[in-house]
Amino acid sequence: MNSVLSAVEKKLEALPIPVELTMPDGTRVGAANARIRIAAKDRSALAHLAAGQVGVLGEDYVQGKLDIEGSMRDVMAMAAAILPGSPVDAARGGWLTGLVQRLVSVWRHSIERDARQIQFHYDLSDDFYALWLDPRRVYSCAYFREPGMTIAQAQEAKLDHICRKLRLHEGERFLDVGAGWGGLLLWAAENYGVDATGITLSKNQHAHVNRLIEAKGLGGRVRMELLDYRKLDESRPYDKIASVGMFEHVGRAQLQGYFAKLRRLLRPGGLVMNHGITAGGLRNSELGSGMGEFIEKYIFPGGELTHISNVLATLTDGGLEGLDVENLRPHYARTLWAWSDALEACLPQARAVLGGEQGERSLRAYRVYLAGCAMGFEHGWIALHQVLAQPMAGGRSDELDYPADLSYPWRRDYIYRQA
């Protein structure tokens, strides 16, 4: 144990931020002017600290094996400094690891398991999410089109960014796959006049959005269904499809089938926008140093990431043609810090909403998750890509002449032109 204590003290001395550590026996080491104070209640937490296993340390915090006082921004700066190496490199494996991961991906993404996994996260508590999300409860990467935007302004900018990329027009049939609390679904209906259908596996979100649809008098052309994407009716194709923050839940082994399903749901010449988190490394489906396991256990069971190159490959295998790719990685870092700061500012209210011992564990998990993901996006360990695509086109010579049956003009300026 003395070697562990020695390693811990060396870690503390090398940190860019002053930290004080209280041992299980009450002994204190580290800086007197500490900005972060850690109280280890279990000796196993000291070993995890010495090894730089930040994801396991996060679990220790959730389980009450250690307490942390200080800004979550400082805590994440400390976490990045104690890592033994890149969490992207640490998560790599050989061909056998890849085969096992594929088999596990197939097994854990049945329709029934996906429903349970989505409900585990999104049905935690609507009131809890409302504390730190924007008023529309848009739970995905915002778009800070201009410096100084608030999170609410940036989320509206993101909703409009997607609608403009999709070139939505009045009367078009629009599908939102994984519609969340209805931000994009309702924005598209109210601002672009589309006939909009959203689907979710979250019972809470389904009920919330249907209440909004009724309150806004949109029942004639907006609907929200509790439905798995694999069960969507293909008999009436949609003009435009958006999938925001959803394909991370599909599973790497199912991506080709997922994109093929979107293609079958889309009319020829229509557009689909896939907006989702991607891996920073070519081969890892999660981050190393225990971070991926933490997310799997406490936040997103069944979540799997893949590199943008694999997204484009499986999209192509699914019969879609990639048209426009945009990386919003720093936008998501800023989004997550906004969420983290908002949650940190209302911890007493969050504890009251979640309630009890399990509620405290959930709150601790979300504090680590929001700040930790912000750190991950800042370091480039994970990214966020929007991919605009259309069904593979046959040979034709009029694609640059704005034919009425094609939605994409093959010129990018329409996305950025002021409305």
Contact 136, 155 (CB under 8 A): yes
SS3 of residue 324 by DSSP: strand
Q: Read off the tokens for 390.
A: 């259309």
Tokens standing for 208?
């919330």
Any bridge partners for residue 222, and if so which?
A: 196
Whether residue 408 contacts residue 164, with contact meaning beta carbons closer than 8 Å, is answered with no
What whole-number distance in Å separates Cα of residue 170 and Cα of residue 416?
20
- Across-strand partners of 223? 197
Annotate 40-109 with DSSP letters as a single string.
ESSHHHHHHHHHT-HHHHHHHHHTTSEEEES-HHHHHHHHHHH-SS-HHHHT---HHHHHHHHHHHHHHT
Which of 141, 163, 346, 373 is catalytic? The answer is 373
Taking the C-alpha atoms of residue 351 and residue 362, their distance in angstroms, rounded to an integer, is: 9
> Distance between CA atoms of 286 and 302, rounded to whole angstroms?
11
Burial (CB count within 10 angstroms: exposed 0-12, middle 13-18, buried 19+), residue 252: buried
Is 373 among the residues known to form the active site?
A: yes
Catalytic residues: 373
